[in-house]
A = this chain, B = another copy of it.
């Protein structure tokens, strides 16, 4: 990737060609990292570089950032599957009703149980343990489906199918995690991919090491063992490296035969298990990091090297000037993971919390887009969200006038990159919804949260408090307190860390955002947890 602006404008314009050929279409590389936080690189997404940025050496991300629009207010969902399915469908996760990660097996909720007061497994008849307040919501726990009629799925036309129909050679490499095994949605070929390497129902790898066959050994095998990498069994090849090599091989055909390609390279790194990548780990240990920190930094460096290999490849093949590169993460960094070492709940600072949460640490993510010769290089502060990727990518590909069975929620953010045309309104509401319990223990700043951002304002709805406030008979003394505790208002411009709840100071703004959030959740028939006492779903924020 050249660091100076490229004179590649013509790449997107029609060339003299056969009558039956479409205008030359740009190649698109979507580089999606996993559980990789907003401050987990040396790239400055924020107004400044934060101390957490200094843990990482990521020269290739830096290199890409220097020719990209760097989005400082880009959002994903709080966990993996909802983001990945929003990208594929163009829908908000509250709208797909896929608000949690999909299990490897069909019809199996991933919602945690246990933890005492707040949660009980909802077994149809609401058999919560005594004292439990909420049980799990009814949600599309089987993920997305390219076919109608599959229980507990969102039926949708996939982004990738439109690309393939438009002539794109579409390649999936890495983590898919859109749907449970035994459903059509789990199969990348059903979503329009021409090639699928390693994409399954798994949301994590069984093992990152080729020496462990990526989990494909009698001793270690489970459904998270990574498929399609037999070449590297018994070798030192790290999973990130193996996936990168396979991805570049897959581009041989479209490059040779001048077909446009879409490469969706979705690294399993930096998800759990946080195993050290021994190509890089020692220097982080030597620098005084603990084993978990060093292991995590080594996984990050592996991803950075992978990105560099892709960028180098595009240049070597002479196609960099006609290849758009998108770099993004599926959710915020995981700050509730002891494997990462350090101190829990600090890794995303200055952002509050991490993966799983609707606070900024869980949802604000890295995003860079490079469109050769057309990029406004620098930071863009307009808030954007993962479902925008569907119309954005089709916009980049020049696919117009498509019709989808689903109602789209995203908007093209290409104008924010090129400066041509009108991008999303900076004041449009962005909705986040995690009506689930994440771990078998209680996590107050993660479990059962919704949020909406409008401009600099952000409302966080603590559903548990909302439910409690609705149970006057059960909690007569706490009703008013609970209602107040249910809605938090933050001004992100002044308070990026969401430390100062100003709901009491701005009751009208609080009410307006509560209405906005309620309206969206209501219109989308969003999943809500069930209040055990009443058997009804928890109230929306404007019903308190």
- A positions within 8 Å CB-CB of B: 18, 20-21, 105-106, 164-165, 167, 169-170, 181-184, 186-187, 189-190, 194-197, 200-201, 213, 216, 218, 221-223, 227-228, 230-235, 246, 249-250, 252-253, 256-257, 259
Contacts and interface: CB of A to CB of B under 8 A. Distances in A.
Given A194-B195, A233-B181, A249 B186 contact: no
Most chain-B CB neighbours within 10 Å: which of A228, A235, A252? A228
Q: In the complex this chain forms, how many copies of it are found?
A: 2
Contact of A231 (B182, B228, B235, B259): B182
B232 A182 contact: yes
Contacts of A105: 233-234
Given A169-B253, A223-B216, A253-B169, A234 B190 contact: no
Given A105-B234, A234-B181, A222 B218 contact: yes
Contact of A187 (B182, B195, B231): B231
Nearest to A257: B167
Contact of A18 (B18, B167, B223, B249): B18
Most chain-B CB neighbours within 10 Å: which of A105, A164, A194? A194
A378 to B, nearest CB: 38
17 contacts: A18-B18, A105-B233, A164-B252, A165-B256, A181-B213, A181-B230, A181-B234, A182-B233, A183-B231, A186-B230, A189-B249, A189-B250, A190-B231, A194-B195, A218-B221, A227-B227, A257-B259
Contacts of A169: 253
Most chain-B CB neighbours within 10 Å: which of A182, A186, A235, A256? A182
Nearest to A246: B189
Contacts of A187: 230-231
Contact of A235 (B182, B190, B223): B182
B186 A231 contact: yes
A47 B481 CA distance: 93
A21 B19 CA distance: 13
A196 B189 CA distance: 12
Nearest to A234: B182
B228 A106 contact: no
Contacts of A194: 194-195, 250, 253
Nearest to A201: B230
Given A167-B257, A189-B246, A250-B189, A196 B232 contact: no
Contacts of A221: 218, 221
A105 to B, nearest CB: 7
A228 B230 contact: no
A200 B230 contact: yes
A232 B169 CA distance: 25
A169 B259 CA distance: 12
A106 to B, nearest CB: 6
A23 to B, nearest CB: 15
A534 to B, nearest CB: 35
B216 A249 contact: no
A278 B5 CA distance: 63
Contacts of A167: 257
A255 to B, nearest CB: 12
A160 to B, nearest CB: 11
A169 B232 CA distance: 25
Contacts of A170: 253
A230 B197 CA distance: 13
A116 B502 CA distance: 87
Contact of A106 (B197, B234, B250): B234
What 10 A-B pairs have minimum CB-CB distances, sorted nearest first? A187-B231, A18-B18, A181-B233, A182-B234, A227-B227, A221-B221, A182-B233, A181-B230, A194-B253, A186-B230
Contacts of A21: 18
Nearest to A258: B20
A382 B203 CA distance: 55
Contacts of A230: 181-182, 186-187, 200-201
Nearest to A222: B218
Contacts of A186: 230-231
Contacts of A201: 230
Nearest to A184: B231
A218 B223 CA distance: 8
A223 B167 CA distance: 36
A252 B165 CA distance: 9
A309 B235 CA distance: 40
A164 B253 contact: yes
A146 B249 CA distance: 13
A329 to B, nearest CB: 24
Contacts of A232: 182
A169 to B, nearest CB: 7
B196 A228 contact: yes
A167 B255 CA distance: 11
Nearest to A228: B227
Nearest to A161: B252
A183 B231 CA distance: 5
Nearest to A105: B234
A259 B187 CA distance: 23
